[in-house]
């Protein structure tokens, strides 16, 4: 059976159903042809042997079985042959035709019946894997209640524009990606993030299309068009992932493509060689050739790997882990090194301002006002904490202008006509006032010695203050590190742009001993390259923004999804959709389970080929037994792959 999508085979829905048939027959075409082939075969075989059915009538039923069982196979194989493409379907057609020439109509019909049954099973398995993710599309509401003044109007979601406000009633699915402008409620986000527990959302929080509003009505301002929302992008990325083949899958498909012509040539050699060299009859050698043809056809080998990869990607998506292709699924299981960003990955990323210290008589409120004016334009967690604190204290601040981000250092802007630079100590390298022994350096050293993160504010060339912030590790971080070690991950490395004191404080809390601190984004990339050169098969875990270079360079880049942000979805190879670090061990475990099943499928497929090749060589099995074992192995590897859809390893959850 050919797993490729470009062989001329139809989509998995209708097969090659003739278009003039009723829709219900097209929907069930694969099943109907299998049943017809089986019934015709059974009537012909049993009628001829037990009920005195004339041979000519029995032959008519065998022909019907041939037509029903071979229709889809021939429709796929023959056009491919005319394009110079030899596939496994062609082998089965050749074997069935050879059986007919030998007068073994029953065995040929049996071969096509089982092969068509295997095709139907393959489509069923692939459908189940695809539907495991495709069912997400059914979660998308088709209409939304849009606010028009004081009334609500139900409109198709495709007609909504960005910034329009919709009302989401309790118990209904959120129809759009947007931000809550009024109301507070619990939202079931399991469809997007895999979270089993609803989360509370209030005004200013983001919500996603397809999630369920549980408690109270919400006003939601739309931030993305329907075609661009998170759910649509997840489905698109999963569909693309299913087309990206793993190295093992590419190898087996290449092997199958080259093996098929070799089998056909070998069969011809057997048919011609045995009569000429050993004096066999042409009918005997032809029968042995057909036996060889069935024995070595690599159907199970061709389908075993893609079925397992597809099922693994589907199961990961159902659990809130987006894996963007078979190669990444395979690489996850090979990891021996994991590098993790600190802020927002190992920690919550929800900083709290702990101290505001003004210099040279500058009031604390003025320091916070200037900092908030600049940081309002930044998406960094430190900036959000500063702006939030200023608002909570009722401090009004102007809008900054001429904003310039300094990668890994800070941000420069103008506030009230004065140039303001905000950042870590390294942003002020060379400034004498920031030198060792100066009040600024002493203050910063003291705060960072306590494990706090510092933000320095300089206005018009003068340092006006320091803001200290603290960020706590995620509740699951320590348990996740323990699980990763239990999975055989040899090295766990923290990479952070934060100061060494803060980095080591967090590292001690979560159980990481290898800490690389005070890194710029480019430095993280250098560390990742160094770890890879040291023999590491490395995963980089980050937030998908300032970690982008390191994510791209690692063997596997894993982004904390922030509920499916656009940057995270586009940057990494794997996305933890719910910002749930506990899903990382699950993803690695699933990858290793997929690898085990792929190996099992290869052993089954090659083992059956070897057994049949040996048995057919000595002529100890009839064609019918070879057919049963051959097609049976194909069905076994498909069913074995489907086990991944039920694979479950509990993700780590904090104690209640």
Residue 383's CATH number = 3.40.1110.10
Range of the structural domain that residue 386 is part of: 352-470
Cβ atoms of residues 301 and 606 within 8 Å: yes
Separation in Å, CA 560 to CA 254, 519, 573, 592, 648: 35, 19, 11, 21, 21
Same domain for 550 and 488: yes
The answer on pLDDT for 36 being more than 60 is: yes
Instruction: Tell me the whole-structure pTM to 2 decimals.
Output: 0.64
Mean pLDDT of 417-421: 90
Cβ atoms of residues 455 and 352 within 8 Å: no
Same domain for 331 and 190: no
Same domain for 200 and 164: yes
Taking the C-alpha atoms of residue 654 and residue 81, their distance in angstroms, rounded to an integer, is 58
The answer to whether residue 289 sits within a structural domain is no
Number of domains in the chain: 3
Note the Cα 447 to chain centre separation in Å: 42
Domain of 558, CATH number, reads 3.40.50.1000
Cβ atoms of residues 40 and 110 within 8 Å: no
Same domain for 326 and 384: no
The answer to whether residue 608 sits within a structural domain is no
The answer to whether residue 625 sits within a structural domain is no
Looking at the chain, the number of H-run helices and the number of E-run strands are 21, 22
Mean pLDDT of 121-145: 64
Same domain for 361 and 219: no
The answer to whether residue 412 sits within a structural domain is yes
The answer on pLDDT for 42 being more than 60 is: yes
Cβ atoms of residues 339 and 541 within 8 Å: yes
Same domain for 416 and 481: no
Give tens-digit pLDDT for 590-628: 999 999 999 999 999 889 988 888 887 777 888 778 878
Cβ contacts of residue 235 below 8 Å, gap of 6+?
133, 134, 136, 137
Given 591, 606, 628, the domain boundary residue is 591
The answer to whether residue 211 sits within a structural domain is yes
The answer to whether residue 206 sits within a structural domain is yes
- Has 89 been annotated as catalytic? no
Given 547, 569, 591, the domain boundary residue is 591
Same domain for 440 and 497: no
The neighbour count for residue 126, using CB atoms within 10 Å, is: 22
| DSSP code at position 344 | I
Cβ atoms of residues 548 and 555 within 8 Å: no
Phi then psi for 26, rounded to 5 degrees?
A: -65, -40
453-459, strands of its sheet edge to edge: 352-358, 462-470, 453-459, 418-423, 410-415, 401-406
pLDDT for position 7:
37
Same domain for 446 and 363: yes
Taking the C-alpha atoms of residue 463 and residue 455, their distance in angstroms, rounded to an integer, is 11
* The pairing of beta strand 337-341 with beta strand 491-495: parallel
Same domain for 480 and 460: no
Same domain for 483 and 402: no
pLDDT for position 137:
59
Cβ atoms of residues 620 and 106 within 8 Å: no
Same domain for 544 and 403: no
Taking the C-alpha atoms of residue 65 and residue 56, their distance in angstroms, rounded to an integer, is 14
Same domain for 484 and 374: no
Cβ atoms of residues 314 and 307 within 8 Å: no
Give tens-digit pLDDT for 436-472: 557 888 888 888 877 788 899 999 888 999 999 887 8
The answer to whether residue 311 sits within a structural domain is no
The answer to whether residue 48 sits within a structural domain is no
Between 303 and 456, the more confident residue is 456
Separation in Å, CA 212 to CA 175, 209, 320, 480: 9, 9, 16, 29
* The pairing of beta strand 491-495 with beta strand 514-516: parallel
Taking the C-alpha atoms of residue 566 and residue 300, their distance in angstroms, rounded to an integer, is 39
Domain of 188, CATH number, reads 2.70.150.10
Among residues 87, 188, 341, 471, the one annotated as catalytic is: 341
Given 427, 447, 470, the domain boundary residue is 470
pLDDT for position 167:
93
- Transcribe 410-432 into DSSP letters: EEEEEETTEEEEEE-GGGGTT-G
Cβ contacts of residue 159 below 8 Å, gap of 6+?
none
Three-class SS of residue 122?
helix
pLDDT for position 58:
92
Taking the C-alpha atoms of residue 65 and residue 58, their distance in angstroms, rounded to an integer, is 11
Taking the C-alpha atoms of residue 285 and residue 294, their distance in angstroms, rounded to an integer, is 14
Across 155-164, 188-197, 367-376, 517-526, least confident range: 188-197
Between 428 and 233, the more confident residue is 428
Three-class SS of residue 183?
coil
């Amino acid at each position: 059976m050919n797993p490729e999508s470009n062989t001329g085979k139809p989509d998995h829905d209708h097969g090659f159903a003739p278009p003039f048939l009723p829709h219900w027959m097209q929907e069930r075409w694969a099943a109907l042809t299998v049943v017809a082939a089986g019934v015709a075969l059974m009537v012909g075989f049993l009628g001829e042997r037990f009920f005195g059915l004339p041979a000519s009538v029995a032959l008519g039923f065998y022909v019907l079985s041939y037509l029903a069982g071979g229709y889809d196979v021939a429709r796929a194989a023959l056009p491919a042959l005319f394009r110079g493409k030899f596939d496994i379907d062609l082998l089965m057609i050749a074997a069935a035709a050879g059986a007919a020439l030998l007068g073994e109509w029953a065995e040929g019909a049996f071969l096509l019946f089982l092969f068509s049954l295997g095709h139907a099973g393959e489509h069923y398995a692939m459908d189940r894997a695809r539907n495991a993710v495709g069912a997400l599309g059914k979660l998308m509401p088709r209409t939304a209640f849009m606010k028009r003044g004081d009334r609500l109007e139900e409109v198709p979601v495709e007609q909504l524009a960005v910034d329009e406000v919709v009302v989401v009633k309790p118990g209904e699915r959120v129809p759009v990606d947007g931000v809550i402008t009024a109301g507070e409620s619990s939202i079931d986000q399991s469809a997007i993030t895999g979270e089993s527990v609803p989360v509370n959302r209030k005004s200013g929080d983001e919500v996603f299309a397809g999630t369920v509003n549980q408690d109270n009505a919400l006003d939601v301002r739309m931030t993305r068009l329907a075609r661009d929302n998170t759910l649509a992008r997840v489905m698109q990325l999963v569909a693309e992932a299913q087309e990206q083949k793993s190295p093992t899958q590419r190898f087996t498909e290449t092997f199958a493509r080259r093996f098929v012509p070799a089998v056909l040539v070998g069969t011809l050699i057997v048919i011609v060689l045995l009569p000429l060299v050993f004096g066999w009859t042409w009918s005997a050698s032809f029968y042995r050739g057909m036996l060889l043809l069935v024995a070595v056809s690599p159907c199970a080998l061709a389908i075993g790997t893609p079925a397992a990869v597809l099922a693994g990607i589907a199961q990961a998506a159902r659990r809130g882990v987006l894996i963007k292709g078979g190669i990444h699924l395979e690489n996850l299981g090979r990891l021996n090194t994991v590098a993790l960003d600190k802020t927002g990955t190992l920690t919550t990323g929800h900083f709290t301002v702990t101290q505001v210290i003004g210099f040279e008589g500058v009031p604390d409120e003025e320091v916070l006002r200037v900092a908030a004016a600049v940081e309002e334009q930044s998406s960094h967690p430190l900036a959000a904490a500063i702006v939030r604190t200023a608002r909570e204290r009722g401090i009004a601040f102007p809008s900054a202008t001429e904003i310039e981000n300094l990668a890994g250092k800070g941000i420069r802007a103008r506030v009230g006509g004065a140039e303001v630079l905000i950042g870590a100590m390294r942003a002020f390298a060379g400034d004498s006032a920031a030198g060792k022994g100066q009040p600024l350096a002493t203050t910063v050293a003291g705060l960072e010695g306590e494990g706090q993160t510092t933000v320095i504010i300089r206005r018009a060339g003068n340092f006006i203050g320091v803001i200290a912030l603290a960020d706590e590790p995620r509740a699951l971080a320590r348990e996740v590190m323990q699980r990763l070690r239990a999975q055989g991950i040899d090295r766990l490395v923290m990479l952070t742009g934060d100061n060494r004191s803060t980095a080591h404080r967090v590292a001690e809390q979560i159980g990481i001993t290898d800490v690389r601190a005070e890194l710029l984004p480019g430095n993280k990339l250098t560390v990742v390259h160094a770890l890879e050169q040291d023999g590491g098969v490395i995963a980089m875990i980050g937030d998908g923004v300032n970690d982008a270079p390191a994510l791209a360079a690692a063997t596997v880049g894993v982004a904390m999804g922030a509920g499916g942000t656009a940057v995270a979805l586009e940057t990494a190879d794997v996305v933890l959709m719910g910002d749930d670090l506990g899903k990382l061990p699950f993803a690695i475990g699933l990858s290793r389970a997929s690898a085990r099943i792929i190996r099992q499928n290869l052993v089954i497929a090659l083992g059956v080929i070897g057994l049949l090749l040996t048995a057919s060589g000595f002529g100890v099995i009839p064609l019918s037994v070879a057919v049963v074992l051959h097609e049976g192995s194909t069905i076994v590897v498909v069913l074995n792959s489907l086990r991944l859809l039920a694979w479950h390893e509990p993700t780590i959850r904090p104690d209640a």
